[in-house]
Structure 1
Amino acid sequence: MPILRALLAAPLVLALLGLGTVPLPSEPHLTPAAAHLPRLVADGGAPTAALLARRTSSAPYDTYRSTGTGIRRADHFRAGSITKTFVATVVLQLVRERKLRLSDTVQRLLPGLVRGNGNDGRRITLRALLSHTSGLYDYTADLSAHPLSATAAVHVALAHRPTDAPGHYAYSNTNYAVLGLVVRRVTGHGYATEIRDRIITPLRLTGTSLPGARTTLPSPHGRGYTRDPADGHLRDVTALDPRTAGAAGELISTLDDLNRFYAALLGGRLLAPAQLKVLLNTRATHGVYGLGVYPQKLSCGVTVWGHNGHIAGGYVRTAATRDGGHTLTFRVDTDTLADSEALEATLLEAEFCDRPQNSRSS
């Protein structure tokens, strides 16, 4: 799994014990991952956690579970870097329409934007931006900077030398800040408009939005917490300025919408076969990352695709089978989750490798 830097965690950051798993009365099916959900609270230190699992074939089910209080299936939450999959989808649609080519350089599309201090837009292609092989410094790693626009974020990155030569994988939110500018340059509209028109509206993702400068979450929503490094206490960071995240992580969504989006994407409803193949191509990163999505191979041989989102006040992860027929999204209401990789792996292994405890559809 790639190491993904938290968006807004530094400027706005960095446990309460849950009350047990709360099933919906209408859902007799216990999805395999549900039994492990309480560990996100008991072992991970999250105040609350929730998951939504959906399978459309071979004993289908659609099951929601939560642990703790104050978290609901319909809640809106910040999805962080899952935004990148939406942006990558738009870019690949523009490639299909021949408005862009993956071999286009940043210099060609945005003349003069990326240059200086060892950075050279003539050597960075769209494919490199999408796959995090550009070498551009991650602007969110500069804890002294709080850029409120994509151009400002790029300028923060350019104050640093590249983290690596182009062609080597190094996750950087700057790549998607640049891609947001590319979308505007080519379409005449901001990436938020293109995502709305090309993805949100056609898929009827009624709980998904890109807030721009809006600091509040739509209703209904819970709270988001970060742990103060000075005293260890949880601090409410529900309201925040998402412009620092921008095209790298400003998305707001719901459990249902994220499952629906990844099922549609991997099921071929948003991209033509050629572009979907490119989306899932991980050769440039030696199997670590595709173009806005990444694979995770499980012990049973199943590989799931998706992305995670880590932003101040929350963490979310969506994973799906290659055909999109089986999806899982889980979330916690804090950006600080102890032993997060092991706990996440446990949920994914349970959901995609174990047999369900009940084969009935909910």
Structure 2
Amino acid sequence: MTRHRGTNRRGRAALAFALGVALAAASGCSAATPPPVPPSEAATDSATPTATSGTPWWRATEEVSTLASGLTAPWSVVPLPAGGALISQRDDGMILELQADGALREVGAVAGVVSGGESGLHGLALTERDGEALLYAYFGAQDDNRVIRMPLAGEPGSLTLGEPEEILTGIPRATTHNGGRIAFGPDGHLYIATGDAQIRDAAQDPDALGGKILRVTGDGDPVPGNPWGNAVFSIGHRNVQGLAWTGDGTLWASEFGQNTWDELNRIEAGGNYGWPLVEGEGGRAEFIDPVAVWTTSEASPSGIAARGGTVFIAGLRGERLWAVDTAGGEAASAPVAALEGQQGRLRDAVIAPDGSLWILTNNTDGRGSPRPEDDLLLRVELAPTG
């Protein structure tokens, strides 16, 4: 597969170095090294109350500030080491740079994005390899969903995108159930959340890409040792839009239910999560039950983030942030809600390099409660709890 390289090697090298130090934690990990601990986490873990797993549990505080406004249908946010971020907008296919001074600038539109229904530009993941910063993007094209990567060059405040390179194509697309979240895991591989694209039975077919969590290398090849010898890592999913790893290395995924139960699942290699035969807790030996469930009016979960042993889930229809404390791969207590009804629909959640939680709202796609005519990137301070 041909690599496309621009001319600003010095800018890419500087950015890649910064990514290796600070950004891998935000997107999952670097393709070359495991994710570092955010500085605030390294400083506080030993001094704060801890759960039985030895990692702290965390709660959203009332300290909420606005980092950016004027967004339109934002879908994914990736923090940058200098304090800014990259943000994808679903409907216009644009990637924005939030600069350190709070201003927004257009980095560029992703070529080939065809928006419609719930499809468009979705998840972003940032990593570095061989001294080059690389931005991965999941989006809806004319006939399918696909993942590409682009070199990211320049200095903060003037970042540019290089030529796109296809990583994985042929993921089924529909007006709904398109999945869309991507993240690099602690193993250095790229995890891709797909929806069933309204082809329900495909979720149980290990040879189909829809209704799955996929695991591929940075070049898009199936990872050796994947359960079925292809790109598929787990099956039986309806519409996964959140991926995150807790401090013990456990992979978690949020999943939209149909009419009754939304889910938070602990993901295992080769696991079958039941859809379309089961929604919520099925109690069947051949399927893995969710760790936590909500009615669809309480959640409709999209992006998730993890700090220590706590998983934070952004709720769309539920218009709230859920926190689930985990230990040993299970829920350690009942989920706790925050921000209920305060910011409208919540689309994405990530842990920033300083240990705070960043949240994207999603009220400008015609589905939310009446809100101001733009969307926001919020910063929420987290506090430890025992």
TM > 0.5 fold call: no
Normalising by structure 2, we get a TM-score of: 0.25
Normalising by structure 1, we get a TM-score of: 0.26
Give the helix-richer structure, 1 or 2.
1
